[in-house]
Amino acid sequence: MALYLIGDLQGCLAPLERLLDLVDFSPSRDTLYPLGDLVNRGPDSLGVLQRLMALGDAAQPILGNHDLNLLGVAAGLRRMGAKDTLAPILECSQRQVLLDWVRQQPLARQVHGWLLVHAGVLPPWTAAQTLALAGEVQAVLQGPEHLAFLSQMYGNQPSRWDAQLSSWERLRVVVNALTRLRFCTPEGDMEFAHSGPAHTAPAGHLAWFEVPDRLTQAQPIAFGHWSTLSLGDPEQKPVLKSLTLGLDTGCLWGRRLSAAKLGPGAGEFELFSVAGDALDG
């Protein structure tokens, strides 16, 4: 039995199929853990969702910002952007089945000693707290108030975690950290305007995984979301910093789709990658 963590798919079905072929993936034996942003911007978001759903329990994704945006657009709470490729999902006869499947997925998982998130973890959060807070969002997303949650999900404020936060503000901070975070201050104030490589952090900010004394320093964490992390690397390898592994290697931009096969020991893995499909335009 093999466990594979896989970077952002964003509707790129053909590279996914190539990667599954490369590792000889078998749904009767292996499990795939896509790290969010399953859909959008790529050529076949509908095909990716259908493929993952067809894998049954052998596919255990988490949600990213583009997946949550799909739910917001489907609910009529957000307009589709010019670069969005969500229409085939929304026009499909399986629309509701697909949306319900997305809505059932969590924002974080713990697998074989690894904490899995789409974007990042705030400095004051432990792994256990991260999973608990992700669970709060998942419970609302799966429940009768999910439309109200989606209507309140968007926005950059509050920019900092406070345990006293409640209601939609509390959930918005959790969503922003787990699905949008790249840079923050050492105190955990999030910054969302900048998306360059880690060394281009805005003044007073750091890549979230470089914050000194963050409470998850001893926790292996795998994440996606940050395709520019590997820019400048001629082999476009996933980025390993301490015990954090960034697996978004820019498949959407014609670079690589990467996966990590988890090894027997804590933090051990083997990397695989295939060529991505360049986005038209």
Query: Considering the domain boundaries, does residue 281 fall inside one?
Result: no
pLDDT digits over 149-166, tens only? 999 999 999 999 999 999
Decide the pairing of beta strands 31-34 and 3-6.
Answer: parallel
Q: For position 237, what pLDDT does the model report? A: 76
Sheet strands (E) in the chain:
3-6, 31-34, 108-111, 114-117, 183-184, 190-191, 206-207, 221-223, 239-241, 244-246, 256-262, 269-275
Q: For position 279, what pLDDT does the model report? A: 62
Query: Considering the domain boundaries, does residue 59 fall inside one?
Result: yes
Q: Looking at residue 157, which CATH number applies to its domain?
A: 3.60.21.10
Q: For position 249, what pLDDT does the model report? A: 94
- The size of the chain, in residues, is 281
Domain of 227?
3-275
pTM of the model: 0.96
Query: Considering the domain boundaries, does residue 206 fall inside one?
Result: yes
Helices 65-74 and 95-103, axial angle in degrees (round to 10): 130
Domain count, the chain: 1
Mean pLDDT calculated for residue range 19-41: 98
Query: Considering the domain boundaries, does residue 108 fall inside one?
Result: yes
24: its two tokens: 């000889």
Query: Considering the domain boundaries, does residue 280 fall inside one?
Result: no
Query: Considering the domain boundaries, does residue 14 fall inside one?
Result: yes
pLDDT digits over 64-98, tens only? 999 999 999 999 999 999 999 999 999 999 999 99
Q: For position 31, what pLDDT does the model report? A: 98
Query: Considering the domain boundaries, does residue 112 fall inside one?
Result: yes
pLDDT digits over 183-241, tens only? 999 999 999 999 999 999 999 999 999 999 999 999 999 999 999 997 766 666 788 88
Query: Considering the domain boundaries, does residue 180 fall inside one?
Result: yes
